[in-house]
Structure 1
Amino acid sequence: MDLSRSVRAIADAADASDGAIDWDAVAEAAKGGCEPGDLRMEPAERAAFADDVRAARDGLRAASGVDFDLPGSIEVQHRHHWIDANVDTFRRVLRPLEDTATGGMVPGVARSLNSGTMAVTVAFLARNVLGQYDPLLLAEADPDDHGLYFVRPNIQEAAVELDVGYPRFRRWIAFHEVAHAAEFAAAPWLPGYLEARLESGISSVTDESSLLELARPDRDGGTPVDAFADLNTAMTAVEGYAELLMDRAFDDEYDDLRAKLDARRQGGDPITNLFKRLLGFGMKRRQYERGAAFFTAVADRRDLRTASLVWERPENLPTDEELDDPDAWIRRVA
C-alpha cells in the first residue's frame, strides 16, 4: 500500500472547486489503500478464463432454458482496474446526493471527509470482490453494453485462503457471474425496474422533508421506504437465483466450494467484520441465503425452468412474504 498517496489525494480534494465528493481523489486514494495485485498471466491461463466463461454460458443456457449472449465487455482485472470502473458507478449513483452532502460544514473540509470516506469504502471493496456483473445502471450507454469483471488477485487469494484449487474455484466464480448475465438477458425489464427504485429511494433522501414524509404515499402511490424495500426484494431474487443456477449448472463438484465460500462470507477478523457491517455486507449475505433458499425450494418442488419464470415480467418477482413462502409464489405464478 502507499498510504502517502491516499493522504495527498484526500488533502488535495479540499481544493477541488466542484461537488461534495472529488471522485478523482477517491480513485487515487483508494488505489493508495490497496495493492493492485498481479495480473501477469500465461497464455494458458488467459485461454482458461475464456473457456470458463464459455462453459458457464453453455451450461447455464442448458440448465435454465434461457437463451442469452455474453456481455459486450469481459475483463480480467486487478484491483486498481476495478476501482476505476466502479468509481464511475458510484459517481452515477450518488450524484443526486452531492448537492446536499456538505450540510453546514466548510465546503473544502466536507469534500475531504466525503472523499476520504468513499476512498476507504472503495479500497475495502476492491480487496474483497471476486467477480462482478455490471448492468451499468443509470449509465447513458447502450443497454446491451453490460460488463463482466473478474478480479484475478482476489480470486487467487481466496482460493488459497479457502484451500481449494484455483482453476476450479475460478471456474465456479465464472458460473456465478455469468448467471447474472442470464438473469438480465431473460428480463430486459430488470435494469429499468432497478433504476426506477434506486432513483426513487435516493431522490427521497435529498429532500429535506423526506424524513417527515416517509409514511406518506408519493405520487406513484408508494413511499421511499417502499422503493428501497422493493429494491432489496428484487436484489434478493437476483442473488438467490444466481446462487441456485451456478450450482445446478456447474460442471464439477462444488459442495466444498459452497460450504467454504459461505463460511468466508460470514467470517473475518474484527476490523473486517466491522467494515462488512458498515457497508451492508450482512444484508448482502442475507440476500444470498434467503434468495437461494427460495429458489432451491421452487426448483425442488417443480424444476429450474419453473424458477426461471421469475424473469418473465416484473409481476413475477416474489414478494417479501413469498420469499419465505415459496409455495405461495408457485400458486400465484406457476
Structure 2
Amino acid sequence: MTNPPNGPGSPSEGDDPLSEMLRRMFGGDGPDPEELRRALGGLGGAGGAGGGLPFDPSQLDPAMMGQMMQQFQAMMQSSPEDGPVNWTLARQSARQAAAGQDPTVGTFARREIDEALRLAELWLDGATDLEATGLLGKAWSRAEWVEATMDTWRRLTEPVAVSMSEAMSRAMKDQMPGQVPEEMQGMLGGLQPMLKNLGGTLFGLQLGQAVGALAQEVLSGTDPGFPVAGHQLAMVPVNIEEFGDGLQVPDDQIRIYLALREVARMRLFVHSPWLERDLYAAIEQYAAGVHIDMTRIEEAARSIDPSDPESMQEAFTGVSFIPEPTGPQKAALERLETTLALIEGWVDVVVTEAAAPLDAAHALRETINRRRATGGPAEHAFGSLVGLDLRPRRLREAATLWETIGAAKGREYRDGIWRHPDLQPTAEDLDDPSGYVSRRETRERESAGLDDELRKLLAGGFDGPHDQDGQDDQQDQGGDGGPADSGSGR
C-alpha cells in the first residue's frame, strides 16, 4: 500500500496511525502509543491478553479522529476573553436549547406586535404620569432573545459561575484517577489541560441550557422583572402564542395586555435609572458572597462513569451546590425581593387601570400574577443553578400598597415616588400600606428640621460653646454683663 503524501492532514513519515492520532489529539503531551496499546489490549483489544472484541488501533483513521478531538478540545477550552467559564459555549448551548420550534418572526407577526405596543403607549398615558419612552417596538424569536440577553446573564451570574466551575474542576481532577481503569492511568497526564477547564465547560453548558429554557417561556424583554435586554421594547410572539393556548381569550387582547406590561416596566426603568442600578447591585452583592458546597460536588463527581461522557453533564444537572444564604446575602436577597415586588405591584396597578377597555383584563391579570408569583420550570431551574430566585414573592401586598397610596394622594404622588430611591417603600410599608404616607411625612419633617438647623449654623445663628459659658460667668457675677455692672464692683 502506498502512503499518502505528507501534508496538513497526513501522518509524518515514520509515524504509525495510532501515533499520529494521539499527536493530533493531545499535541506533544499525550500518552505513549505503546502504553495505550497495552491498555486497549488489557481491555479486550486485538492481540491483548483479555481476548474479546477485535479492535486494532492501526485501523483508526487519524484524520477523522484528529478532527473529532479538535472539536472536543474546542468545547473544553475557554477563550482568553471567557476566563474560567466557557461563556462562548454557554451562548451556543442557549441557542441550541432555544432552537426547537423557534420560527423566524414574520412580517405579519412583527406588525401585530408593533401595533400592540403602540396602542399600549397610548392607553398608559391615561394611567400614569411617567412619560412615553419613544422606543421602537421589536418582535424577537427565542434565539434573538438569547442573543440580546446573554451579556446580562453573564454579568449576573459570573461570580457564582467562576466559583462553581473551579470547584467542579477540582472535584473532577481529584475523583477521576480513582475511576479510570489502572491500565489507562497513564493517559490522564494528557487530559490534565482538559480537566482544568472541565468545570467551566460543564457550567457553561448548564447555564446555556437554563437560559435557553427561559427563552422558551419569556413573553417580553422585561418579563423576568428587569430589563435583561437593556432598554429595548421587545416581545416574543411564539411564546405569547403558546401562553395563550387554552386561555379562551382573543389573541389581540392577550397581545395588548402583555404589551401594556412591557411598556409600563420600560417607562419605569427609563425614567428611574437608579432603579436598575439598585437591582444589579443587590444581585451582585448576593453573588459575591456565594460559596460552594464541595461535599455535594464531590458526591456528584463520584457518580460519573468515565466511559460515558454524558454522565458528566447528568451528574451536575438538577442539583443545587449552593447552601442557604447567610448574613449580608440574606439582606441583599430581601432587598431584591422587595424591589421586584414593588416594580411588579406598580405595573399591576397601572396596567389594570389602562387595560379597562379589555373584556378579558381581569382574567389575564390573575393569570399573569399567578405566573409571576409561582415561576415556571425554567425559572426554577435557573434559580437552582445560581441560587438566585427572581420571583416577586410579595406581589399582592405591593399592589395593595400602590392602590392605597394612589387613593390617598393621587396618581402624581404615587408615580413621583419613583423619582428617588429615598422615597421607596420598604418591607415595613408592605406590612402596613396605610401607614406609608404618615411615615414619609414624619421623615420629611425631621429632614427639613435638620436642614434648617444646618443652615442656621452655617449662617452663624448659633453661639459657640465658649460664648455660652461666657454668658453664664457674667450672670454668676451679677447683672447682664454690661458696663454699669462692671463699674459697681470697684
SS of 1:111's equivalent? helix
Of stretches 178-187 and 95-104 in structure 1, the one that deviates more from structure 2 is: 95-104
Question: Does residue 100 of structure 1 match 2:207?
Answer: no
- Give distance in 2, aligned partners of 1:187 and 1:173: 21
Q: CA deviation at 1:226?
A: 2.6
Q: Which residue in the other structure is 1:159 paired with?
A: 244
- 1:231 is aligned, of 329, 336, 343, to 336
- Give distance in 2, aligned partners of 1:46 and 1:285: 30
Q: For residue 278 of structure 2, what is the amino acid of its counterpart?
A: Y
Q: Which residue in the other structure is 1:15 paired with?
A: 77
- 1:111 is aligned, of 190, 200, 207, to 200
Task: Name the CA shift for 1:229/1:265 in 2 (closer, same or farther; >3 Å).
Answer: closer
Q: Is the 8 A contact 2:283 2:336 kept in 1?
A: yes
SS of 1:75's equivalent? strand
- Give distance in 2, aligned partners of 1:277 and 1:162: 27
Q: CA deviation at 1:25?
A: 1.4
Q: Is the 8 A contact 1:68 1:185 kept in 2?
A: no
Question: Does residue 129 of structure 1 match 2:218?
Answer: yes
Q: CA deviation at 1:160?
A: 1.7
- Give distance in 2, aligned partners of 1:192 and 1:157: 33
Q: Which residue in the other structure is 1:201 paired with?
A: 286
Task: Name the CA shift for 1:319/1:128 in 2 (closer, same or farther; >3 Å).
Answer: same
Q: CA deviation at 1:273?
A: 8.9
TM, length-normalised to structure 1 = 0.78
Q: Is the 8 A contact 2:90 2:207 kept in 1?
A: yes
Q: CA deviation at 1:177?
A: 0.8
Q: How does 1:159-178 map to 2 (within 5 A)?
A: 159-178=244-263
- Give distance in 2, aligned partners of 1:95 and 1:207: 14
Q: Is the 8 A contact 1:129 1:151 kept in 2?
A: yes
- Give distance in 1, aligned partners of 2:424 and 2:197: 44
Larger Rg over CA atoms:
2
Question: Does residue 187 of structure 1 match 2:266?
Answer: no
Q: Which residue in the other structure is 2:10 paired with?
A: none
Q: Is the 8 A contact 1:70 1:178 kept in 2?
A: no
Question: Does residue 242 of structure 1 match 2:347?
Answer: yes
Query: Where does the alignment leave 5 or more consecutive residues of structure 2 unmatched?
Result: 1-69, 172-194, 294-322, 442-490
SS of 1:231's equivalent? helix
Task: Name the CA shift for 1:301/1:235 in 2 (closer, same or farther; >3 Å).
Answer: same
Q: Which has the higher contact order (CA 8 A, sep 6+)?
A: 1
Question: Does residue 120 of structure 1 match 2:246?
Answer: no
Q: For residue 28 of structure 1, what is the amino acid of its counterpart?
A: Q
Query: Where does the alignment leave 5 or more consecutive residues of structure 1 unmatched?
Result: 1-7, 140-144, 216-222
Q: Is the 8 A contact 2:113 2:137 kept in 1?
A: no
Q: For residue 278 of structure 1, what is the amino acid of its counterpart?
A: S
- 2:422 is aligned, of 299, 303, 315, to 315
Q: CA deviation at 1:92?
A: 2.1
- Give distance in 2, aligned partners of 1:286 and 1:135: 15
Task: Name the CA shift for 1:281/1:303 in 2 (closer, same or farther; >3 Å).
Answer: farther
- Give distance in 2, aligned partners of 1:117 and 1:207: 16
**What do the CA deviations read for 1:122-178 (whole angstroms, capped 9, x no partner)?**
1221111011239767x9xxxxx7122211100011112322211110111010011
Q: CA deviation at 1:313?
A: 1.0
- 1:38 is aligned, of 93, 103, 116, to 103
Q: Which residue in the other structure is 2:11 paired with?
A: none
Q: Which residue in the other structure is 1:292 paired with?
A: 399
Task: Name the CA shift for 1:230/1:267 in 2 (closer, same or farther; >3 Å).
Answer: closer
Q: Is the 8 A contact 1:39 1:152 kept in 2?
A: no
- 1:69 is aligned, of 133, 156, 161, to 133
**What do the CA deviations read for 1:22-64 (whole angstroms, capped 9, x no partner)?**
2221222223223252344344x43332222122222223211
Q: For residue 89 of structure 1, what is the amino acid of its counterpart?
A: T
Task: Name the CA shift for 1:40/1:189 in 2 (closer, same or farther; >3 Å).
Answer: closer
Q: For residue 162 of structure 1, what is the amino acid of its counterpart?
A: L
- Give distance in 2, aligned partners of 1:186 and 1:275: 32
Number of residue pairs aligned between Structure 1 and Structure 2: 308
TM-align CA RMSD: 3.5
- Give distance in 2, aligned partners of 1:11 and 1:89: 27
Q: Is the 8 A contact 1:21 1:115 kept in 2?
A: yes
- Give distance in 2, aligned partners of 1:9 and 1:85: 27
Q: Which residue in the other structure is 1:219 paired with?
A: none
- Give distance in 2, aligned partners of 1:234 and 1:320: 9
Q: CA deviation at 1:248?
A: 1.0
SS of 2:103's equivalent? coil
- 1:48 is aligned, of 112, 116, 126, to 112
